C-alpha cells in the first residue's frame, strides 16, 4: 500500500496531544499516512499556510477558522481538537492576586485584564465571562500579554487579572498570593469548541479518503489519550513535543478530549462573535463542519 | 643626451605644426545665479604635437580648470576642445592630467607602489608583477625606491607629490598635463625632476603642458610659455622661448635670452596689478 | 595599530562590566525579583551546560547558523551590488529609489501570509526574510559611501582611462568601504536577529523555535542559556568582521 | 544649477514612479489571471479602493498619530544616546573597551527574546515599547558613529589643537561634522528600522497604532484592508525618508558635492 | 614702515636672547620593528624670541615633523621641547602651526570665512560677528575678500593656501610655525604675502619659523636660516642673514650679502648628493 504524505500545522501545546499520540503510536502509519507536523508559533502562520496550500491540515482556534471561512478561504473543520468538558477544570482560567478581591464581572469594571490577543478567543470569553457574571465588558480594559508573561504582569500589577492557559495556569496558582477567579469557558457555556483541525474545500474535494483516514487515526489518538492520561507513556509523548518537564505534565488538570464538534457549540461561538462585533453579515456555521467532524468515520 | 634629438627639437619648436590639442573659445562658469563665478573668459590655445608648453598666471585665475577641461575631465561652459581633430568630451586615451592636489589624488588604501601601478595595471597584457616592476622603475627615478611599501600618509608632502609624478610618467601618455607638479619639493629634487621630465619627454616624445608659478621653471623647461590674466582669465600672450636643447642647468640659465625672457615674464606677472 | 592594541587591553574592562552585570543579575534573581522569567545566572549556566552536553544546543545553533549565513550572504551581497549601482548611476537610482523606500518600512510580520504563499514555510522563506532584512542597512550605507567618494579619486581613474567597471571595483568600492563595512556589521547582527524571528514563525528548527518552546514550557533556564549563547555567537561573528575590517580599513581608522 | 538640475531630474522622478507602477500592474495581472491566490494577495485595485475608503473616512489620523508619536519619541532617544555614546567610544579607548563587549553582546539579540525581561521590568506600556524600539534604533547609529569618529582626519584634529580648542569643543566642531556622513547613514538605516520596530511592537503589545490594525486585520483575514494600511505605512516610510534626505542635503552638502 | 622698529630689529637679531622655544636632542622614529623610519636624528635648535627663523632642507628630511614637534602636535621619540622654560607636551597656547597640507587642513563643512574664524571664535569675549569681522579683515589681507562665502572645494589650490595663511595670522600667535605656506601661489601673490607677513611680524612682534624650499624666500624673510641634512636629519648649519630691515623686494635682493647667502645656501642644498 502506498503511503500518502500529509503536512499538518500544529501548535506545540497540550491541546494537540491526540495528534502527537497518533503519530507516536503509529496510528497514522496504520492508515497509510505519513504525517509531518510543522509547529507554528501561536498558530499565526497555520491558517495562512493552509490557505496557501503549504500544509493540508491546520490546527487552529475556532475564531480564526470562522474568520477565515468568512473571507472565502474555504476552510472546513474536519476533526475536533480541544474544548471544554461539562465542568471545570478547563485548559484556561482567570487568575488574579488574592488581595485584589476580584470575584465577579462587576468587580472587573475599570480593571485591566491580560489576554493573549485581542479580537480572539481568549478575549471573547473574557468579555463574555464579565457579562455572564454581572459586569459590563466594555468597562474593562483588555491588554495583550503573551501567555508566558501573564503571571509577571499580574504580580507586577501591570494588570489586575489574566486569562491564562496551561501550564502557566498551574504555575500561577501555585505561586503565593494568586487565586483563581473563574473558568470563563465553562461559565459561558459547557462543551464549547476551542481548537479544531481544518482543511480547505479544495483539498477535501480531491482527497476525501485521505481526510477520512486522517480523522480515523486521529480519533484513535483521542481514545488513547483519554484512556492513558497521566501514565508514564503519556507524559513521555507530551514532554517530547512540548519540552514540558514530565513531572509538570502529571500535575496538569485536563478536560477530556472530544471526537466530535458540537454544531450548536459552533453556533454559539458565532453568536458570541456577532455580539462582540467580530462578525458581520450572514454566516452559515453548518457549512463549516465537514461530516467527519460531527460523525466520526468508522 | 645626444645632439641629434636636440637639433630635431629645435627645429620642431620653430616650425608650427598641425592642430594637435586645440582649445577654442573656452569659457567656464561655476555655480549658478547670483553666486556665479566666471573663471575662464574665452581662451584659445593650440598645443602643438610634441611641444613643451608652460602656462603661468595668477593664483585662482583658472589654470587648473583649463587643464582639466583640456584633459576631458571637466566640460567647458562654452567652447570646444579637440584632440587630433576629434572633439574631447571625455578623457581621451593618451591624455593624462596630474592633479595639483597631490594629497587627494593618491588612494589612501593603496601602498605607494600600488598607487603608481594604478596608472597601468589595467592595460592589456599587464599583470601584477609587470605593473609593479614598471612602477618600481619610475619610483626609483623620482627617488622613492625605498618607500614603495609605505602608505601615502606615511610620506612627506614632497614625497607624495613625487609619487604622483611617477604615476603620471608611468602611464607614458602622449599628452601630459602637469598642474604645479614640483611645488612642494626642494631645490635639488626639483632640478633632478626637471632633468627627469625633460629626458623622458625627449625619449618618449610626448607633448607636455605644465602649469607652474615658477617663471624660471617655465622658461627652462618649455618651448613656449602662455601667460594668463587674472580671473576671468584670458591668454595675455604666448612667448616662444627659443632656447636651444638640450638645456643645461647652468649654461641655459645664463643665456641672455633666458634672462631676458625671465625678466619679461616676471614683469608681465607682477604688472597685472597696475 | 597602537590604538588598536590599546582598545584590546581596555576591553578587559568591558568584560569586567559584563561580569558585574551578571553578578547583579544573580543577586537580583535570588533576592528581590521573583519570577519564573528571571532565573538566576547560576541556574541558567547549569541548564545551558546540560543542553550543550546533550547536544541539543549545538544542533539548534548549527541549523540556525547556516540559514543565517545563507540569507546574510544573499542580502548583504545584493545590498553592496545594488548600492554601488544606485550610488553611482543616476538612472539606476531614479528607477529603484522610490521602490526601495516604499518597501523598506514594511515589517516582515505583516507580509507573512504572502511570503508563505510564495515561498512556503521552510528554509526558503526564512532565508528570504533574513536576506530582506540584511539588505537595507548594507544598501543605505553603501549608497551613502559611494556618494561620499571624493571627486578627485574618480577623476584620477578617468584620466588614467580606467574603465567604469574597473573604477567601481578599484576606486569606488574601496573608497566606500568604511561605510560598507559598518553596514555589513549592522546587517550581521540584524541577520541573526531575524533568523531567530523567522524561526519563530513556523517550523521546528533553530534557535527561534527553541526559545519559543522553552518559554512556553516554562524552562526559562534553557531559554536564557540559548539567549546568552546567541549573544556570544553574535559577539564572535562581529569579532570576525572586525578582523576583516582591520585589514581592509587600516588606512581609514588611523584617526583613532 | 537649480534650473538645469531640475529639468534633468524631472523625467527621472517619473522613472521611479514608473517602476513602482509597472510592478503594481504586473501584480494586478498575476492576481487577476489567478496565478496568485487572491484571498491572500488581493488585487492592487481592490487595495486602492480600500485605501480610498480609509483616507476619506478619516479614521486613519488616530492610529497614524499613535504610531508617529511612538516612532519619533523612540527614534529621538535612540539616536541621541547612540551619537553621544558613539562619540565617546570613538574618541576614548577606555570608553570603547568598557562598552564594546556589552554592545556587541546585546546587539545580535532579537527583541522578542528580550521581551520577557522587558515586560518584567518595564511593564506593558509605552516605556516598554519605546525601550524596545529605541534599542533597535540605537545600535546602527552607534556603530556608524564610532566608525565615523575613527575616520576623522588627524590633520583636522591637529588644526583644532594648534588653535587651542579644548578637546570637548573639538568633538563638536571637528569630530561630529566630520563623522556626520556616516552618522546620518546610520540614522537613515535606523529610521527604516525604527518604523518597522514600532509596527512590530504595536503588533505585539496590541494597544493601538497602525501595527495593531495590521496584525488584527491579518488575523481576521481581511487582507485587502491590511494591505491598504501597509500602503499607508510604505508611503509614511517614503515620506519620512524624503524628509531625511532633505535634512541630509543641508547638513552634509559638502560631502555630497562630489556627486553634484 | 618706520625706521625705529627696523633698527630695534637689527639690534635684536645681533644680540642673543634667553632660550625661548628650545628643541634639545630631538629624535623621531616612525613605525616599529623592521619598518622603522628614523626621520630626525638629534636636532638641537633654539628659536629666539621675536626672531624670524627659516628652515630649509631636502624633501622628506623631517622639516614638517620637526615643526609639529615644536608645536606640541607630535611627541619626539627622544629629546625635549621647551617653550618659555616649560616642557611642551601638548600644543601650548601661543604657538600655532600652519599645515603643509593646506587642502586637508581646511574644514570642508565650513565656508572660507568660518574656516578662518575657527582660529578665534572660541576665545573669551568673542562672538560670531566679531569673529567674522576679524576674519574678514585677514581674508582681505590675503586677497580673498570676495570669496568668504565659498566652500574650500570651490577655491583653487593657491586660494586654499591663502585661507590657511589668513587663519594662522588671525590667531595672532606668539610663535607662528609656517610649513611651506607659499608653495602654491604665483610670484606676485607671493611677494604680497611676504610683505604682509613681514609687516604683521613687525607690528605684532611674534616669533616666526618658516619651512620653505625657496632659498630666496628664506634669505629675504629670515634673521637666521637653519639647514637640515637628508633623512635622518640633523642641523647642518645655522646662518645669520645679517640683512637690514625693513627689507625691500628690489634693494635687499641686490645686496651683495643677499647674493652671497643665496649662493652659499643653494650650494649647500645642491651639494648634499656628493
Ligand atoms: N567647483 C567650483 N565651484 C566654484 N568655483 C570654482 C570651482 N572650482 C574652481 N572655482 C573657481 O574658479 C577659479 C579658478 O580656479 P582654478 O583652480 O582653475 O585656479 P588656478 O589658476 O589653478 O589657481 P591656483 O594657481 O591657485 O591653483 C577660482 O576663482 C575658483 O574659485
Ligand atoms: N606617519 C608616518 N609614518 C611613517 N613615516 C612617516 C610618517 N610621517 C612622516 N614620515 C616619514 O618621516 C620623514 C619626514 O617627513 P616630513 O613630512 O617631516 O618631511 P619634510 O621634511 O616635511 O618633507 P617635505 O619637504 O617633502 O614636506 C619622511 O621620510 C616620511 O616618510
Ligand atoms: Mg590650480
Ligand atoms: Mg613637509
Q: Hey, whose CA ends up nearest to atom 2 of ligand 2?
A: B154
**Domain-located, residue B10:** no
Contacts of C121 in chain A (CB under 8 A): 9, 38, 40, 45, 49, 54-55
Q: Which among C37, C117, C212 is the nearest to A152, CB-wise?
A: C37
Tens of pLDDT along B19-78? Answer: 789 999 999 998 877 778 889 998 999 999 999 999 999 998 999 999 999 999 999 999
Q: Do chains E and A touch (3 or more CB pairs under 8 A)?
A: no
Please compute the mean of the pLDDT values over residues A28-33 and round it to a whole number.
89
What mean pLDDT, rounded, does chain B reach? 88
Question: What percent of chain B stands above pLDDT 70?
Answer: 92
Q: Are residues C5 and C131 in the same domain?
A: no
Q: Are residues B182 and B273 in the same domain?
A: yes
Interchain contact, A54 vs C213, CB within 8 Å: no
More confident residue, D140 or C113: D140
Tens of pLDDT along A179-193? Answer: 888 888 888 888 888
What does the H/E/C string look like for D137-192? HHHHHHHHHHHHHHCCCHHHHHHHHHCCCCHHHHHHHHHHHHHHHHHHHHHHHHHH
Q: Which of E106, E72, E99, E104 is nearest to E179 (CA)?
A: E99
Q: What is the full per-residue pLDDT of chain C (256 aa) written as tens digits?
A: 344 555 567 778 888 888 888 888 888 878 877 777 788 888 888 888 888 888 888 888 888 898 899 999 999 999 999 999 999 988 888 888 888 988 888 888 888 888 888 888 888 888 999 999 999 999 999 999 999 898 899 999 999 999 999 999 999 999 999 999 999 999 999 999 989 888 887 777 888 888 888 888 888 888 889 888 888 888 999 899 988 988 888 888 764 3
Domain spans, chain D = 1-36, 40-259
Strand order in the sheet with E235-240: E95-98, E175-179, E207-211, E52-56, E224-228, E235-240
Is pLDDT above 80 for B16?
A: no
Instruction: Identify the bridge partners of residue B178 per DSSP, sorted by sequence position.
Output: B98, B210
**Domain-located, residue B4:** no
Q: How far is CA B245 from CA B47, B189, B226, B251, E107, in A?
A: 19, 21, 19, 11, 46
Confidence of residue B158 (pLDDT cuts 50, 70, 90): very high
More confident residue, E28 or A171: E28
Interchain contact, C101 vs D196, CB within 8 Å: no
Interchain contact, B31 vs D2, CB within 8 Å: no
Task: Look at residue B75 and give its three-state secondary structure.
Answer: coil
Domain CATH for B71: 3.40.50.300
Pocket of ligand 2 (CB under 6 A): B 154-159, 184; E 30-31, 37, 39, 57, 59-65, 100, 231
Q: Which of E177, A112, E214, C112 is nearest to B215 (CA)?
A: E214
DSSP string covering A200-213: EHHHHHH-HHHHHH
Q: Are residues B149 and B231 in the same domain?
A: no
Q: How many domains does chain E have?
A: 2
Unique residue bearing C-alpha cell 551581497: C77
Q: Are residues E183 and E168 in the same domain?
A: no
C115's CB contacts (< 8 A; 6+ apart) are: C108, C125, C128, C129
Q: Are residues C53 and C21 in the same domain?
A: no
Q: Which of D220, D243, D254 is nearest to D71 (CA)?
A: D243
Confidence of residue D19 (pLDDT cuts 50, 70, 90): confident
Q: Are residues C21 and C50 in the same domain?
A: no
Q: Which of E211, B9, B36 is nearest to D2 (CA)?
A: B36
Tens of pLDDT along A230-271? Answer: 888 888 888 888 888 888 887 777 778 888 888 888 888 888
**Chain C contact for A41 (CB, 8 A cutoff):** yes
B 195-254: CB under 8 A from E: 213-215
CA dist., res. A11 & res. D72, Å (int)? 37
Instruction: Identify the bridge partners of residue A57 per DSSP, sorted by sequence position.
Output: A8
Candidate of B152, B159, B163 to mutate for ligand 2, largest count of ligand atoms within 8 Å of Cβ = B159
**Alpha-carbon dihedral E174, E180, E186, E190, rounded to 10 degrees:** 30
Residues comprising chain D, all counted: 260
pLDDT of residue A171: 84
Tens of pLDDT along D93-137? Answer: 888 888 988 998 888 888 777 777 888 788 778 888 899 899 999
Strand order in the sheet with A92-97: A141-144, A112-115, A161-165, A92-97, A178-182
Contact E179, E57 (CB under 8 A): no
Interchain contact, A12 vs C216, CB within 8 Å: yes
CA dist., res. B74 & res. D259, Å (int)? 13
Q: Are residues C181 and C232 in the same domain?
A: yes
**Alpha-carbon dihedral A83, A86, A88, A89, rounded to 10 degrees:** -40
Q: Are residues B229 and B114 in the same domain?
A: no
pLDDT of residue E11: 47
Q: How many CB atoms lie within 10 A of CB C212?
A: 26
Q: How many CB atoms lie within 10 A of CB E230?
A: 16
Q: How many domains does chain C have?
A: 2
**Domain-located, residue B200:** yes
Q: Pairing between strand B207-211 and B52-56? A: parallel
Q: What is the full per-residue pLDDT of chain E (274 aa) written as tens digits?
A: 344 444 545 445 544 445 789 999 999 998 877 778 889 998 999 999 999 999 999 988 999 999 999 999 999 999 999 998 889 999 999 899 999 989 889 999 999 999 999 999 999 888 999 999 999 999 999 999 999 999 999 999 999 999 999 999 999 999 999 999 999 998 888 999 999 999 999 998 999 999 999 999 999 999 999 999 888 888 999 999 889 988 888 888 889 999 999 999 988 888 755 4
Confidence of residue A85 (pLDDT cuts 50, 70, 90): confident
Does a cis peptide bond (omega within 30 degrees of 0) precede residue A161? no
The domain boundary, picked from B143, B172, B201, lies at B172
Q: Pairing between strand A141-144 and A112-115? A: parallel
CA dist., res. D115 & res. C208, Å (int)? 13
Q: Are residues C13 and C94 in the same domain?
A: no
The CATH-assigned architecture of domain D40-259 is: Orthogonal Bundle (1.10)
Q: Are residues C57 and C163 in the same domain?
A: yes
**Domain-located, residue E95:** no
Tens of pLDDT along C18-44? Answer: 888 888 888 887 887 777 778 888 888
Is pLDDT above 60 for D259?
A: no
Q: How many CB atoms lie within 10 A of CB B58?
A: 25
Q: Are residues B112 and B162 in the same domain?
A: yes
ipTM value of the model? 0.89
Domain CATH for C63: 1.10.3720.10
CA angle B106, B108, B112 (to 5 degrees): 65
Confidence of residue A151 (pLDDT cuts 50, 70, 90): confident
More confident residue, E99 or D256: E99
Handedness of CA B10, B14, B16, B21 (dihedral sign): positive
C-chain residue closest to B164, CA distance: C156
Number of H helices, E strands in chain A: 15, 10
Q: Are residues B268 and B194 in the same domain?
A: yes
Unique residue bearing C-alpha cell 645642491: E270
Q: Are residues E38 and E162 in the same domain?
A: no
Q: Are residues B61 and B115 in the same domain?
A: no
Q: Are residues B250 and B184 in the same domain?
A: yes
Decide whether any atom of ligand 1 lies within 6 Å of the E79 Cβ. Answer: no
Q: How far is CA E36 from CA A95, C121, E78, in A?
A: 75, 59, 15
Contact E57, E237 (CB under 8 A): no
Q: Which among C36, C200, C217 is the nearest to A41, CB-wise?
A: C200
Q: Are residues B182 and B271 in the same domain?
A: yes
Task: Look at residue E31 and give its three-state secondary structure.
Answer: coil
pLDDT of residue D29: 87
pLDDT of residue C204: 77
The domain boundary, picked from B153, B172, B191, lies at B172
Q: How far is CA A291 from CA A78, A204, B180, E153, in A?
A: 7, 11, 93, 81
Q: Are residues C240 and C181 in the same domain?
A: yes
Range of the domain at E140: 106-172
What mean pLDDT, rounded, does chain C reach? 86
The domain boundary, picked from B128, B155, B172, lies at B172
Q: Are residues C65 and C183 in the same domain?
A: yes
**Domain-located, residue E163:** yes
CA dist., res. A97 & res. A89, Å (int)? 19
Instruction: Identify the bridge partners of residue B95 per DSSP, sorted by sequence position.
Output: B175
Among the residues of chain A, which ranges form H helices?
17-24, 27-30, 46-51, 62-70, 105-108, 121-132, 150-155, 168-174, 184-188, 201-206, 208-228, 232-242, 246-251, 263-275, 291-294
**Domain-located, residue E222:** yes
More confident residue, B4 or A27: A27
**Domain-located, residue E3:** no
Burial B211-231 (b: 16+ CB within 10 A, else e): bbbbbbbbbbbbbbbbbbbbb
What mean pLDDT, rounded, does chain D reach? 85
pLDDT of residue C5: 56
Please compute the mean of the pLDDT values over residues A282-297 and round it to a whole number.
84
Closest CA–CA distance from residue C228 to any residue of chain B (Å): 38
Q: Which of E187, E182, E209, E243 is nearest to E56 (CA)?
A: E209
Question: What percent of chain D stands above pLDDT 70?
Answer: 93
Task: Look at residue C205 and give its three-state secondary structure.
Answer: coil
Q: Are residues E248 and E263 in the same domain?
A: yes
Sort residue D63 into left (φ over 0), alpha (ψ -120 to 50) or beta. Answer: alpha
Range of the domain at C25: 1-33
CA dist., res. C129 & res. C107, Å (int)? 10
Q: How far is CA E34 from CA B109, B259, C39, E31, in A?
A: 21, 50, 54, 8
Q: Which of A34, A1, A38 is nearest to A16 (CA)?
A: A38
Q: Are residues B256 and B186 in the same domain?
A: yes
> What crossing angle do the helices spanning D176-205 and C123-147 adopt, rounded to 10°?
150
Is pLDDT above 60 for D5?
A: no
CA dist., res. D119 & res. D123, Å (int)? 4
Q: Are residues C127 and C206 in the same domain?
A: yes
Amino acid at each position: 500500500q502506498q503511503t500518502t504524505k500529509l503536512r499538518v500545522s500544529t501548535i506545540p501545546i497540550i491541546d494537540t496531544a491526540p495528534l502527537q499520540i497518533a503519530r507516536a503510536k503509529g496510528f497514522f502509519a496504520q492508515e497509510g499516512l505519513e504525517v509531518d507536523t510543522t509547529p507554528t508559533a501561536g498558530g499565526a502562520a497555520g491558517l495562512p499556510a493552509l490557505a496557501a496550500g503549504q500544509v493540508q491540515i491546520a490546527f487552529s482556534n475556532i475564531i480564526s477558522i470562522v474568520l477565515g471561512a468568512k473571507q472565502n478561504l474555504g476552510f472546513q473543520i474536519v476533526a475536533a481538537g480541544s474544548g471544554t468538558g461539562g465542568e471545570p477544570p478547563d485548559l484556561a482560567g482567570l487568575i488574579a492576586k488574592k488581595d485584589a478581591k476580584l470575584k465577579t464581572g462587576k468587580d472587573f469594571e475599570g480593571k485591566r485584564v491580560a489576554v493573549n490577543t485581542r479580537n480572539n478567543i481568549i478575549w471573547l470569553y473574557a468579555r463574555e465571562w464579565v457579562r455572564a457574571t454581572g459586569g459590563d465588558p466594555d468597562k474593562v480594559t483588555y491588554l495583550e500579554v503573551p501567555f508566558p508573561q501573564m503571571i509577571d504582569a499580574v504580580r507586577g500589577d501591570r494588570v489586575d487579572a489574566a486569562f491564562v492557559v496551561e501550564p502557566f495556569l498551574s504555575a500561577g496558582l501555585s505561586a503565593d498570593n494568586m487565586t483563581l477567579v473563574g473558568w470563563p469557558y465553562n461559565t459561558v457555556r459547557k462543551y464549547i469548541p476551542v481548537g479544531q483541525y481544518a482543511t480547505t474545500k479544495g483539498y477535501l474535494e480531491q482527497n476525501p479518503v485521505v481526510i477520512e483516514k486522517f480523522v480515523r487515526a486521529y480519533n484513535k489518538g483521542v481514545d488513547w489519550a483519554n484512556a492513558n492520561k497521566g501514565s508514564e507513556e503519556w507524559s513521555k509523548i507530551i514532554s517530547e513535543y512540548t519540552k514540558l518537564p514530565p513531572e509538570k505534565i502529571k500535575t496538569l488538570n485536563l478536560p477530556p478530549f472530544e471526537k466530535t464538534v458540537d454544531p450548536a457549540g459552533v453556533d454559539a461561538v458565532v453568536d458570541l462573535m456577532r455580539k462582540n462585533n467580530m462578525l458581520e453579515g450572514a454566516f452559515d456555521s453548518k457549512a463549516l463542519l465537514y461530516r467527519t467532524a460531527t460523525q466520526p468515520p468508522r | 643626451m645626444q645632439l641629434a634629438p636636440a637639433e630635431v627639437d629645435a627645429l620642431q619648436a620653430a616650425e608650427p605644426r598641425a592642430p594637435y590639442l586645440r582649445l577654442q573659445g573656452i569659457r567656464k562658469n561655476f555655480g549658478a545665479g547670483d553666486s556665479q563665478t566666471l573663471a575662464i573668459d574665452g581662451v584659445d590655445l593650440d598645443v602643438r604635437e610634441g611641444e613643451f608648453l608652460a602656462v603661468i598666471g595668477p593664483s585662482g585665475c583658472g589654470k587648473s580648470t583649463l587643464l582639466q577641461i583640456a584633459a576631458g575631465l571637466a566640460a567647458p561652459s562654452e567652447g570646444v576642445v579637440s584632440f587630433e581633430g576629434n572633439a574631447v568630451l571625455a578623457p581621451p586615451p593618451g591624455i593624462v592630467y596630474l592633479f595639483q592636489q597631490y594629497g587627494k589624488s593618491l588612494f589612501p588604501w593603496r601602498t605607494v607602489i600600488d598607487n603608481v601601478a594604478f596608472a597601468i595595471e589595467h592595460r592589456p597584457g599587464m599583470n601584477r608583477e609587470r605593473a609593479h616592476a614598471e612602477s618600481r622603475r619610475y619610483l626609483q627615478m623620482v627617488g622613492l625606491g625605498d618607500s614603495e611599501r609605505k602608505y601615502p600618509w606615511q610620506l612627506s608632502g614632497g614625497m607624495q607629490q613625487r609619487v604622483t609624478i611617477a604615476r603620471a610618467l608611468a602611464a607614458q601618455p602622449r599628452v601630459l598635463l602637469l598642474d604645479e607638479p614640483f611645488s612642494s619639493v626642494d631645490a635639488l629634487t626639483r632640478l633632478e625632476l626637471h632633468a627627469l621630465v625633460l629626458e623622458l619627454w625627449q625619449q618618449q616624445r610626448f607633448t607636455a603642458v605644465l602649469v607652474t608659478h615658477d617663471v624660471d621653471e617655465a622658461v627652462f623647461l618649455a618651448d613656449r610659455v602662455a601667460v594668463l590674466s587674472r580671473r576671468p582669465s584670458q591668454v595675455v600672450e604666448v612667448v616662444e622661448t627659443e632656447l636651444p636643447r638640450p638645456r643645461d642647468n647652468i649654461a641655459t640659465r645664463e643665456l641672455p635670452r633666458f634672462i631676458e625672457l625671465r625678466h619679461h615674464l616676471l614683469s608681465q606677472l607682477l604688472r597685472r596689478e597696475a | 595599530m597602537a590604538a588598536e592594541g590599546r582598545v584590546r587591553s581596555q576591553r578587559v574592562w568591558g568584560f569586567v562590566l559584563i561580569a558585574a552585570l551578571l553578578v547583579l543579575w544573580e543577586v537580583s534573581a535570588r533576592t528581590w525579583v521573583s519570577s519564573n522569567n528571571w532565573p538566576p545566572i547560576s541556574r541558567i549556566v547549569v541548564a545551558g551546560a546540560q543542553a550543550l552536553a546533550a547536544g541539543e544546543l549545538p544542533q539548534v545553533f548549527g541549523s540556525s547558523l547556516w540559514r543565517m549565513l545563507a540569507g546574510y550572504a544573499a542580502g548583504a551581497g545584493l545590498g553592496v551590488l545594488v548600492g554601488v549601482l544606485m550610488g553611482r548611476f543616476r538612472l539606476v537610482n531614479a528607477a529603484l529609489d522610490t521602490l526601495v523606500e516604499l518597501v523598506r518600512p514594511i515589517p516582515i510580520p505583516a507580509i507573512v501570509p504572502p511570503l508563505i504563499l510564495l515561498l512556503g514555510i521552510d528554509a526558503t522563506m526564512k532565508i528570504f526574510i533574513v536576506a530582506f532584512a540584511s539588505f537595507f542597512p548594507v544598501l543605505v550605507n553603501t549608497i551613502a559611501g559611494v556618494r561620499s567618494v571624493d571627486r578627485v579619486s574618480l577623476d584620477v581613474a578617468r584620466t588614467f582611462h580606467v574603465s567604469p567597471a574597473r573604477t567601481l571595483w578599484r576606486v569606488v568600492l574601496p573608497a566606500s568601504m568604511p561605510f560598507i563595512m559598518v553596514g555589513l556589521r549592522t546587517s550581521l547582527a540584524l541577520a541573526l536577529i531575524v533568523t531567530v524571528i523567522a524561526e519563530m514563525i513556523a517550523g521546528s528548527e533553530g534557535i527561534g523555535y527553541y526559545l519559543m518552546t522553552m518559554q512556553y514550557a516554562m524552562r526559562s533556564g534553557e531559554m536564557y542559556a540559548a539567549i546568552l549563547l546567541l549573544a556570544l555567537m553574535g559577539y564572535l561573528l562581529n569579532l570576525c568582521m572586525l578582523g576583516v575590517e582591520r585589514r581592509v580599513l587600516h588606512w581609514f581608522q588611523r584617526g583613532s | 544649477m537649480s534650473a538645469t538640475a531640475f529639468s534633468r531630474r524631472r523625467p527621472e522622478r517619473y522613472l521611479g514612479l514608473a517602476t513602482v507602477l509597472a510592478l503594481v500592474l504586473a501584480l494586478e495581472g498575476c492576481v487577476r489571471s489567478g496565478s496568485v491566490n487572491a484571498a491572500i494577495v488581493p488585487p492592487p485595485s481592490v487595495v486602492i479602493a480600500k485605501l480610498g475608503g480609509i483616507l476619506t473616512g478619516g479614521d486613519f489620523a488616530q492610529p497614524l498619530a499613535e504610531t508617529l508619536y511612538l516612532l519619533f519619541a523612540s527614534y529621538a532617544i535612540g539616536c541621541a544616546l547612540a551619537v553621544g555614546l558613539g562619540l565617546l567610544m570613538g574618541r576614548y579607548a577606555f570608553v570603547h573597551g568598557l562598552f564594546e563587549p556589552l554592545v556587541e553582546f546585546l546587539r545580535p539579540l532579537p527583541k522578542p527574546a528580550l521581551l520577557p525581561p522587558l515586560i518584567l521590568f518595564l511593564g506593558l506600556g509605552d516605556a516598554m515599547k519605546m525601550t524596545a524600539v529605541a534599542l533597535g534604533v540605537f545600535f546602527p547609529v552607534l556603530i556608524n558613529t564610532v566608525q565615523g569618529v575613527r575616520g576623522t582626519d588627524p590633520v583636522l584634529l591637529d588644526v583644532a589643537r594648534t588653535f587651542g580648542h579644548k578637546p570637548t569643543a573639538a568633538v563638536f566642531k571637528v569630530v561630529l561634522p566630520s563623522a556626520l556622513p556616516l552618522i546620518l547613514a546610520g540614522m537613515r538605516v535606523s529610521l527604516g528600522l525604527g518604523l518597522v520596530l514600532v509596527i512590530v511592537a504595536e503588533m505585539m503589545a496590541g494597544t493601538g497604532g497602525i501595527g495593531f490594525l495590521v496584525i488584527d486585520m491579518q488575523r481576521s483575514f481581511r487582507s485587502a484592508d491590511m494591505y491598504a494600511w501597509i500602503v499607508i505605512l510604505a508611503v509614511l516610510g517614503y515620506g519620512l525618508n524624503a524628509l531625511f534626505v532633505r535634512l541630509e542635503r543641508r547638513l552634509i552638502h559638502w560631502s555630497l558635492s562630489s556627486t553634484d
